[in-house]
Every structure is written in C-alpha cells, then in structure tokens.
C-alpha cells in the first residue's frame, strides 16, 4: 500500500474551524474603468459594448495591465479586512498536506503514476519496476520554474515502459510542449515538440508516438486567436520535430479536431474527429500492420458527425465501441473492422442508467454506469454476458479501469465528497480488490454526512441534489450557511468528488450542495439536450429551483445561500444572479463565459456553439442576448456580493469575459446598498491570478491562496461563523 511509503503519520482528528464574524466592511471605491461609445446593430437590436477595450491581451496592453493591477489592489484590501481569511488558509494547508497518488498505468512490467507528498506545488510522476518494488521519482516539475507554475500535463508510457512521453504546461495555458524521458536513465531526449493542444499521446510500440497540434500561430495571437487546422503527426523517438510525419488532417474541414488512439493489440490506429464540444464524431482507421507498404492511409469507418462512437479497444478480431446511436443512454457495439455496418451488432443494450465509460481488461468488459450521478461498475465477458459487479463501497465516483485484452489486473480510484481518492487494484478474473494507495487524512470522513435529495424545477422536472454537512448539523436539523455549486453544460457529469475548499467550508460549519442540473450528462443525451441551445434557460431554472429548495427545506439560513460555478458554471452564476438577485446572498463566478455575443471569437470559443448556439444566427442571437451575464446587468437592481476570479493566462475562457462583466457590474452598482449584512453595501470584486490559466496546472500555493480568498469573501457575505455547528455539536452531545 503506497500510503505506507509516504512517511506521513496520520494526524489527530482535526477540530472544526470556528470563524469570528468581523465588523462591516465598507465597499471600496472601485477603480475607474473607461467606457467607450460602442453600440452595434444586430438583427435590429442596439447592443452596447462599452468595455470592449478590455478584450486586449493583459500581457501586452499597458492600459489593461494597469486596470488589472488596480482591481487586484482594491480586492486584496477588501479581503484583508476579513478575519476568517487566515483561518481558511491554515485549514486549506492541512487539507492539502496529506500524501495522495494517481491511478497507475501498467506498461511492460512497470507501473507509472502521479503523486504528491502533500504541499508540493505540482504532482510528480513515479515509476515502479514491479508491483511490489519501491517507487522512484521520474519527473519532478517542481524544479522547472521559479513560481511553481510549470506542470506535467498529459503523459503516456511506451508499450514496454522503456520511454515516457509527457507534455509540459506553462502558466496554465492549453498550449503544450511534448518531451520524452528514457525511463532507465531518467534522461530527457530531444528538443521537444511544440504547438500541441487538445491532444492525446498514442504510442506505436517503443518507436514513437502520435500527437495532435495546430499550425504555429502568428506572433502575439497565441492566447487569443481561434484555432483551426488541427492535425495528427507521428514523432519518432530521438528525432527533431521537423522530421515528424503528417498522419491525418482535414484541410477541407479546418474546424475539426482529431484524437489518436492505438488499440491494445497494436493493430489499429483509431482517429476520432469532432467539430465542436459535442462528442459526436467520425472515426477513421489506419491498419498499422500495413503501414510499411501503404503509409498512413486512413479508411473512414464512421461517417457523419451525428452520434458518439467511442472505440473502446480491439479483441478477438473485433472492435468494441460505446455509442449513443439508437441509444441515448449508450450501448456497446462490436464492429468487424473489415466490413461495413452489416457486420456490426449490439453486444450490450442500453438501460435506464447512462454508460459513462467502458474498457477492456483481460477477458472482461468493464462498464461504468451513472445512477443518479453516482458510479456503479459492472463486469461483462466479451460475449456480453454479465460477469459480476465491483463493490465500490458507497455513493461516489469511480474512474480508471484502464487496460487491454490479456491483462490480469486493472486499477481504479474511488472518491466522494468526504473522501479523497483511494486507489485499488482489481484482479479481473476473480473480482478481488485490494488497496494500492490510501491517503492518511487530517479529518474523519465519518464526521460528514452525504445525502441525495430531489427537487422539482420550474417545468416539473425532477432534479437530484447532493447535500453534504457535518453529521451534527444533519442530526439536529440546524440550518447553516450553504454553498451551492453547479455546472450544467457540455454533457459533463458532476459526480461526488473531494475538493479541499469544500471540506474547509464544511469544517467551518457550512453546508455544501451540488445540483445535477440539466445540460450535464448525468442522465444521458436527453439530459444534455434539455439544457443547451434554445433550452439553456432550463439550466438556470434548475439552479434557481435548487436554491429555493435549500431555503424551503431549512438547510440554509434565510440570508445564507452562496453560489459558485466555474467556466460554464461561471456563466451559470452570472445568469442566475441577474435573474434572481433576491434569492442568492453571495456569488463566486470563476473563469466564466460572460459575453455570450462574442465568445466564439477567441481561442476555443468557436467549439462552444454546440451548447450555446451561433451568435451570428438571429434565432441563437436572441436566445443568447436574453441571458448573457454581461448584457443583462440592470442599474436599478440590487445585486448580492459577487466575487469574480480569472487568470491572465487563461486561453480557454479568455479573461476578457470576466473583465467586461465586473466592469459593468461595478458601474451599475456603485454606491448601491443590497442590505444583506445590516447596512453594509454589496461588494463586487475581481481577483486576477498571474501565471495561471483555466484551472489545470495551477500550483498548490496559488490554489490555497485563491480558495482562502473566495471562502473568506463568501463566509463574510453570508455570515458563516461556526455558530450553527457549535450549537449542533452541543445538542448532539
């Protein structure tokens, strides 16, 4: 068990953080933000955009950089007056301070996995030469930069484990540099492969690997310009990138992105192509057994971007695929790669629960189902017969289960709101499991109760919500300030998982809730479709109904409901604050999509038309304008306290979204009193991180500092001071 190697003793059970509610804090004088007289006519509508100048790159535009500096200074001055900030920072330090490990990937006789002894800024990569051998450090990104903002992105061992290909992420950017390390010597080979983005790494034996990249952008446009002409290349170990071979491209469809995978038997190169954020894809095959005679000649297997076709692997001369073609909750098909559709058949049909992932390990198919947003793992043989169920030990989320035909074992992780991930080894034939790595925690998971309820949305739809709180609050039914989280987009399922900031909130006496609103993938394609495009308002209605439910059912206090969302969830927060400012008592919108009329103009924004619609289409434009956070701020409305967070190197959702939104909110609400904390006015602030991106690769010290600021802001706004938990603990004794 890896925890035994960590050298970290299990600390005594931690006491809850009890905050002290400080005095009222005056809303600061916001930095002056220049307005421009920009008004455009779109489909007969006059659309003002006075803060368009904030779209310029903060790294190269002095006026924007100065605005960012002044906004950050005001925000830090305000947050510095909140007494709980230091307490949250200390608690978060402890919650990051235990050893944790990733799910191993076997290659040859070796096992590769990530790990962090506790407070390292970035995860390291380790290798073990046998399951019972001592691990050794292979990659340590903590030595790559002065500020800890360089990270290992994706990584993949070669077939025998001789090499490991990995990507370097700088400052949170989506751009990657790919390198190869010799596992025996630890030497890094070659000069690296540049301009890779949205790429998987797929090895062909130990010879080399396939990756995806875009053309090198023009000077100064790499963090803003839309990306087109994604292509697959092959890089041989020890050669220069200039010698890489073009494998697959679609110049007649420059908007398509391509992802390469080599089947476990080494026979087929599978290329899945998508044109947006939807998983609808085409599939091409390249017969690697004939590569020497035919080169990279691809044959189209799946035509049209109409359905999901995820090739799982190959076994017994068949390809196995997970698809929603004819099955909104997904089914498993077998494909004869040498025949057209007549040679394909359904192996495992759909049922009432979504098949969220599938893999082949040994002689088994491992299917992960989502039942009411929690994981269930089922084993089938390769003829589709039920072979058993994996006991996961509670309501939570599982992941991993990687492998290929013939493997005797697989590894998976299991986590929940009150449990950081533990790693398990599964004997695929017997179904026996054993712990591979288990964290030693600074708290007792049994002190926190996880429950699932259902509420009714505006149109009568039944929506699940997870509610997590200290068991003393649950046993005594005492209301406490509550943090409600949501996402609701891109068929992304929100499942139980451990997040340090959520635990810190609960240790301070708060309640955490996660609503599985429409737009996600918790209930398959229909749930996604019900929360996107013309149906996007359903997402907002669901979240509003979740807030009403928490107040009506007595989970939260009358003025104690804070909300939070990231990325598409940031859009969610911005939209519902505009629509129901009376319901929500504080809000945190992180890296949100806030300008719904121009999102498609930058970097990855063009992909999002699948979920949001095309601003250039009149029907979509009118729908987008109706809920766009930036365009629906009303100076006559009193909004709750709002904290916006973003980062200067976010090239997924560019920071201009957050800049423009907070500028508009500050201008509308200058001097307004929201009346949520006595006579205290509602603060509307922005926190802009440097050398950070959309989220991945952020150093632990930056995560702790940002989370402490956010939790302090929200706790002050909703009166989280630990008193409810103190009262509950007294009653529970």
With a CB cutoff of 8 Å and minimum separation 6, the contacts of 51 are: 33, 35, 36, 659, 660, 663, 664
Report the alpha-carbon angle 26-32-34, nearest 5: 150
Measured N-to-C along each axis, helices 700-718 and 62-79 cross at an angle, to the nearest 10 degrees, of: 60
Q: Identify whether 694 is a catalytic site residue.
A: yes
Residue 323 and residue 332: Cα distance in Å, rounded? 6
Q: Where are the alpha helices (DSSP H) in 96-201?
A: none
3-state secondary structure 315-344: ECCEEEEEECCCCCCCEEEEECCCCCHHHC
Q: Identify whether 567 is a catalytic site residue.
A: yes
From the candidates 694, 707, 715, 716, which is the catalytic residue?
A: 694
DSSP state of 225: S
Nearest to 369 by CA among 378, 361, 360: 378
3-state secondary structure of 496: coil
Given 3-state DSSP classes, what are the helix, strand and coil percentages for the chain, each rounded to the nearest 5? 25, 30, 45
Helix (H) or strand (E) holding 270: strand 268-274
From the candidates 167, 567, 677, 715, which is the catalytic residue?
A: 567
DSSP state of 55: G
Nearest to 654 by CA among 228, 29, 56: 56
Nearest to 333 by CA among 363, 367, 306, 291: 367
Nearest to 244 by CA among 298, 293, 195, 283: 195
**CB 596, CB 627: distance < 8 Å:** yes
DSSP state of 50: T
262 forms beta bridges with 269
Helix (H) or strand (E) holding 167: strand 163-170
Burial class of 596 by CB neighbour count within 10 A (0 to 12, 13 to 18, 19+): buried
Both structure tokens of 549: 């439910």
**CB 175, CB 651: distance < 8 Å:** yes
3-state secondary structure 414-481: EEECCEEEEEEEEECCCCCEEEEECCCCCCCHHHEEEEEEEEECCCCCEEEEEEEEEHHHHHHCCCCC
> Would you name the residues annotated as active-site residues?
567, 694
């Amino acid at each position: 068990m890896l925890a035994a190697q960590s050298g970290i003793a299990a600390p005594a059970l931690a006491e809850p953080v009890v905050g002290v509610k400080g005095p009222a804090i005056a809303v600061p004088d916001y930095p002056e933000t220049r307005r421009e007289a920009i008004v455009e006519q779109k489909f007969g509508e006059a659309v003002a955009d006075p803060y368009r100048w904030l779209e310029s790159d903060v790294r190269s535009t002095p006026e924007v950089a100065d605005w960012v500096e002044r906004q950050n200074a005001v925000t830090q001055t305000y947050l510095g007056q909140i007494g709980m900030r230091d307490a949250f920072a200390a608690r978060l330090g402890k919650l990051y301070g235990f050893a944790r490990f990733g799910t191993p990937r076997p290659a040859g006789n070796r096992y590769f996995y990530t790990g962090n002894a506790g407070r390292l800024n970035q995860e390291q990569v380790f290798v073990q030469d046998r399951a019972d051998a001592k691990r050794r450090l292979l990659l340590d990104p903590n030595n790559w930069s002065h500020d800890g903002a360089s990270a290992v992105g994706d990584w993949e061992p070669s077939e025998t484990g001789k090499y490991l290909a990995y990507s370097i992420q700088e400052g949170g950017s989506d751009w990657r540099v790919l390198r190869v390390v010799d596992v025996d010597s630890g030497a890094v080979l070659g000069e690296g492969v540049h301009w890779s983005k949205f790429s998987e790494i797929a090895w062909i034996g130990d010879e080399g690997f396939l990756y995806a990249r875009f053309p090198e952008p023009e000077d100064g446009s790499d963090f803003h310009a839309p990306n087109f002409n994604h292509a697959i290349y092959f890089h041989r170990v020890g050669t220069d990138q200039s010698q890489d071979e073009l494998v697959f491209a679609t110049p007649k469809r420059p908007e398509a992105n391509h992802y390469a995978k080599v089947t476990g038997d080494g026979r087929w190169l599978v290329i899945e192509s998508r044109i947006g954020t939807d998983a609808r894809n085409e599939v091409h095959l390249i017969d690697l057994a004939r590569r020497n005679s035919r080169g990279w000649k691809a044959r189209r297997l799946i035509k049209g971007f109409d359905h999901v076709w995820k090739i799982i692997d190959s076994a017994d001369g068949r390809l196995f695929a997970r698809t929603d073609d004819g099955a909104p909750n997904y089914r498993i098909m077998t494909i004869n790669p040498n025949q057209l559709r007549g040679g394909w058949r359904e192996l495992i049909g759909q049922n009432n629960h979504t098949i969220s992932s599938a893999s082949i390990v040994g002689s088994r198919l491992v299917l992960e189902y989502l039942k009411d947003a929690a994981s269930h793992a089922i084993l089938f043989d390769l003829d589709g017969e039920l072979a058993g169920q994996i006991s996961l030990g509670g309501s939570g989320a599982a992941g991993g289960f990687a492998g290929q035909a013939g493997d005797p074992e697989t590894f998976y992780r299991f986590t929940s709101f009150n449990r950081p991930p533990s790693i398990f080894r599964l004997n695929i034939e017997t179904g026996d499991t054993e712990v591979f790595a288990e964290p030693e925690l600074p708290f007792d998971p049994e002190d926190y109760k996880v429950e699932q309820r259902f509420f009714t949305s505006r149109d009568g739809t039944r929506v699940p919500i997870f509610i997590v709180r200290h068991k003393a609050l649950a046993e005594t039914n005492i209301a406490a300030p509550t943090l409600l989280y949501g996402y609701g987009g891109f068929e992304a399922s929100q499942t139980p998982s451990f997040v340090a900031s959520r635990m810190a909130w609960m240790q301070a006496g708060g309640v955490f809730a996660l609503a599985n609103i429409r737009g996600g993938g918790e209930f398959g394609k229909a749930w996604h479709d019900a929360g996107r495009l013309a149906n996007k308002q359903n997402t907002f209605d669901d979240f509003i109904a979740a807030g009403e439910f928490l107040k009506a059912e007595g989970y939260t206090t009358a003025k104690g409901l804070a909300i939070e969302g990231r990325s598409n969830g940031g859009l969610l927060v911005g939209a519902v604050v505009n629509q129901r400012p009376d319901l929500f008592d504080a809000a945190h919108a992180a890296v949100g999509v806030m300008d719904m009329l121009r999102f498609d103009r930058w970097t990855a924004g063009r992909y999002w038309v699948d979920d949001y619609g095309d601003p250039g289409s009149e029907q979509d434009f009118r729908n987008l304008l109706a809920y766009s956070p930036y365009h629906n701020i009303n100076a006559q409305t009193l909004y709750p306290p709002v904290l916006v967070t973003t980062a200067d190197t976010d090239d997924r959702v560019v920071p201009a979204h957050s800049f423009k939104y907070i500028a508009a909110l500050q201008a509308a609400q200058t001097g307004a009193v929201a009346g949520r904390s006595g006579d205290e006015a509602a603060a509307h602030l922005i926190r802009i991180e440097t050398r950070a991106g959309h989220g991945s690769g952020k150093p632990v010290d930056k995560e702790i500092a940002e989370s402490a600021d956010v939790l302090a802001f929200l706790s002050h706004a909703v009166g989280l001071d630990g008193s409810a938990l103190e009262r509950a603990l007294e009653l529970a004794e």
